[in-house]
Amino acid sequence: SKGGYSHFMLKEIHESPLAVKETISTMLSDEAVVEASRIISNANRVFVVAAGTSYHAGLFFTRYLNLSSLTAIPVIASEYSSYKAKSGDVVLALSQSGETLDVKMAIKKFRNDGASIISITNVIESTISRESDVKLYMRAGPELGVAATKTFVSQVASLMILKSRVLNEDTSYLAKAPQILEDAVEETEGKMKRWSTLIDFPSVYYLSKGIGVPLAMEGALKIKEVAYVHAEAYPAGESKHGPIALVSEGFPVIFVNPGLDELKVNMEEMKSRGAKIFSISTVNTNLTDNEVIVKSERDLEPFALSPPLQLLAFYVSVNKGIDPDRPRNLAKTVTVE
Ligand code: F6R
């Protein structure tokens, strides 16, 4: 049941705080997480293998690890044949459904190469979890909308726990994540509804820097899949190296967390080309009227920034008369090559 919401996607965005709460409490008490973190700490390299939204969540993990002295490589599951693992390497497979064929095939190849397999799925005894040496579960609850929403933030929470265990960090900072999500949903929904009427262009860019880049990528994927708007995400610095050629009067550019001074320069640059600038941020930039501020602690920013990106895609979809729960050409679980 949609529990009073018009769509599963909207219901599931609103369920994110609860999903993340469950993820945190189960993963913090899961012995398998300790075992997984021990294996990752001793790994030669960690291949983080996933598709779609799960791949974007995986980019947080590779980033955290690469900022430490460990080596983590993000692998788009269908591209597994471009890599070779060896004994001592570890695969961290991320799949909400636990059934994505590309991920299964990648696991098979990397296991043959000699790697050990850790998985995080949302379905107990899914095929991918059965094929793993260590099985971790998000326990975000079932997700019925085709677009991954609550399971994305739950994956991010899972990966934060895992990296904190790997890096021997205190995990108490995570306790605030559900509240940050709840505030972000409550405080941005009205504005995203209004912004959705301003995305009236065939293309949109999502630009960010650092930790915001995977969020920009996820925002672009969401608006493509549920609202059929052509969207691309780039690290803002990279936008100068080609993408800016497309920017003309009225071109929407959504900046994700542009609090950084470097991003302000990119904002000015896009503005001077006539772009219609939007800012989803934890700080005020005063560079556009289309600005939404979310509250967050430094380490928990993905939880504050994700809901508005998901809500924007949802409302653009609904405005265009599309059913965001059942976008054309897409299936919840992709079991073909
Ligand atoms: C996007 C989406 C897809 C999935 C992808 C992987 O909203 O739902 O991109 O994220 O098909 O699915 P799982 O995580 O089940 O392997």
Ligand 1 neighbour 319 (Cβ under 6 A): no
* DSSP H stretches of helix in 249-296: 261-272
CA 147 – ligand 1 centroid, Å = 7
Task: Determine the atom of ligand 1 nearest the C-alpha atom of 149.
Answer: 7
pLDDT for 259 equals 66
Grade residue 127 by pLDDT with cuts at 50, 70 and 90: very high
- Total residues belonging to the chain: 337
The pLDDT tens digits of the residues spanning 48-107 come to: 999 999 999 999 999 999 999 899 999 999 999 999 999 999 999 999 999 999 999 999
CB 54 within 8 A of CB 185: no
CA 76 – ligand 1 centroid, Å = 12
Q: What is the distance between the alpha carbons of residues 29 and 22, in angstroms, rounded to a whole number? A: 11
Q: Whose CA is nearest to atom 11 of ligand 1?
A: 52
Task: Determine the atom of ligand 1 nearest the C-alpha atom of 97.
Answer: 15
CA 53 – ligand 1 centroid, Å = 5
- For residues 2-9, average pLDDT: 95
Q: Whose CA is nearest to atom 9 of ligand 1?
A: 52
pLDDT for 258 equals 67
Task: Determine the atom of ligand 1 nearest the C-alpha atom of 151.
Answer: 14
Q: What is the distance between the alpha carbons of residues 115 and 108, in angstroms, rounded to a whole number? A: 10
Position 130: which residue type?
Answer: R
Q: What is the distance between the alpha carbons of residues 337 and 334, in angstroms, rounded to a whole number? A: 8
The pLDDT tens digits of the residues spanning 158-199 come to: 999 999 999 999 999 999 999 999 999 999 999 999 999 999
pLDDT for 334 equals 85
CB 136 within 8 A of CB 164: no
Burial of 336 (0-12, 13-18, 19+ CB in 10 A): exposed
The pLDDT tens digits of the residues spanning 8-59 come to: 999 999 999 999 999 999 999 999 999 999 999 999 999 999 999 999 999 9
ipTM: 0.98
Q: Which of 56, 297, 324 is nearest to 180 (CA)?
A: 297
The answer on pLDDT for 265 being more than 70 is yes
CA 264 – ligand 1 centroid, Å = 32
CB 16 within 8 A of CB 147: no
The model's pTM: 0.97
Ligand 1 neighbour 89 (Cβ under 6 A): no
CA 331 – ligand 1 centroid, Å = 9
Ligand 1 neighbour 76 (Cβ under 6 A): no
